[in-house]
Amino acid sequence: MGEFTATIEHRLDQAYRNLQEARSSGDDYLADTFTAEIEDLRRLATDNGVPVQR
């Protein structure tokens, strides 16, 4: 696994955890922000041939 792939996976894991925390606390704005970050990271992964599990 390359550094780029590891970084994408790490950032996605972190964003999913942050999204869950935002939803749990009822912070809709922050949840939307993390949802957008996840979408951007997934698009970046796809564009670069990095398979994503989630």
- Note the pTM of the prediction, 2 decimals: 0.89
The amino acid occupying position 46 is T
pLDDT tens per residue across span 19-45? 999 999 999 999 999 999 999 999 999
Higher per-residue pLDDT: 22 or 54: 22
- Separation CA 14–CA 12 (nearest Å): 5
Q: How many other CB atoms are found less than 10 A from the CB of residue 41?
A: 20
Q: How many other CB atoms are found less than 10 A from the CB of residue 15?
A: 21
Q: What's the pLDDT at 1? A: 66
- Does the pLDDT of residue 46 top 80, yes or no? yes
Tokens of residue 53, six digits: 């599990």
12: left (phi over 0), alpha (psi -120 to 50) or beta: alpha
**pLDDT, averaged across the chain:** 95
